[in-house]
Amino acid sequence: MNAGQIETSKKYVEIAADEGATVLCGGHSLTHGCYAKGTFFEPTVVGGVTPEMRIAREEVFGPVVSLIEFDTFEQGVKIANSIDYGLSTSIYTKNVNRAFAAMRDLESGITYINAPTIGAEVHLPFGGVKQTGNGHREGLGAIDFFTTWKAVYIDYSDKLQRAQIDNAE
């Protein structure tokens, strides 16, 4: 992170609180001890977020996650698809029908099934949809410009997986 992103992350956490959300943990820059010589922001969880709040509708690009409650799978998909961004999505489920419905229905460039959006994707045509990215995918020629691709990762192990880049003990 850089100093500007620290300020952006702080701003979004403050706006969320002003709009009625609750900061459950984090929300501050780290400036003491081993963090004193860098620009670090605490991992932050914001609860009580509604789909209308700015923190739910805009890209923070910091270690900030917003929790939005909903009652049905269909409501969750509707909320996810209601924003102007669509880089990646993730769903955890043992229900294979829901997994395939998520792959089909979530409007995003990448959908993970039972895995986090870790940013360690294999090299496939990649890019977001809607207002995320530049709207184009690299590779495969001009026909891909008029096609919407979605990369899907499925982990059937029923275990939380670590990123290949995060396997050091």
What is the C-alpha to C-alpha distance for residues 90 and 117, in angstroms, rounded to an integer?
6
Give me the residue spans of the domains in the chain. 1-69, 71-169
- 66: which residues sit within 8 A by CB, 6+ positions away? 16, 21, 46, 49, 53, 55, 56
Please give the chain's pLDDT, 169 residues, in tens: 788 999 999 999 999 999 999 999 999 999 889 998 889 999 999 999 999 999 999 999 899 999 999 999 999 999 999 999 888 899 999 999 999 999 999 998 889 999 887 766 665 555 667 776 655 555 555 566 667 778 888 877 777 777 666 666 6
Statement: the pTM of the whole predicted model exceeds 0.75:
no
CATH for 1-69, options being 3.40.30.10, 3.90.1150.10, 3.30.870.10, 3.40.309.10 = 3.40.309.10
